[in-house]
Amino acid sequence: MRQWKENLAWTTTVMSLDDRTWQRIVTFLRQQPDVYVGKEAACRQFIEAVL
């Protein structure tokens, strides 16, 4: 288990979208009838985490 945690620390990366890209994504999401965006900041954090 310890080895797994050490490897995980080395493979974790942080994805951050620039504002222009985020605006394109959130505009697209809002046009989708089955997608709930909610609070934009929380949605952005979620999308960045998924990516």
Count of structural domains, the chain = 1
> Which positions ≥6 away from 48 have C-beta within 8 Å?
14, 15, 16, 17
Token representation of residue 33:
């009838």
pLDDT band (50, 70, 90) for residue 8: low
**Across 12-40, average pLDDT:** 93
Reported confidence tier of residue 12, pLDDT bands at 50, 70, 90: low
Q: Is residue 4 part of a domain?
A: no
Domain range for 36 is 15-50
User: Is residue 44 a part of any domain in this protein?
Assistant: yes
10 part of a folded domain: no
The answer to whether 26 touches 44, Cβ cutoff 8 Å, is: yes
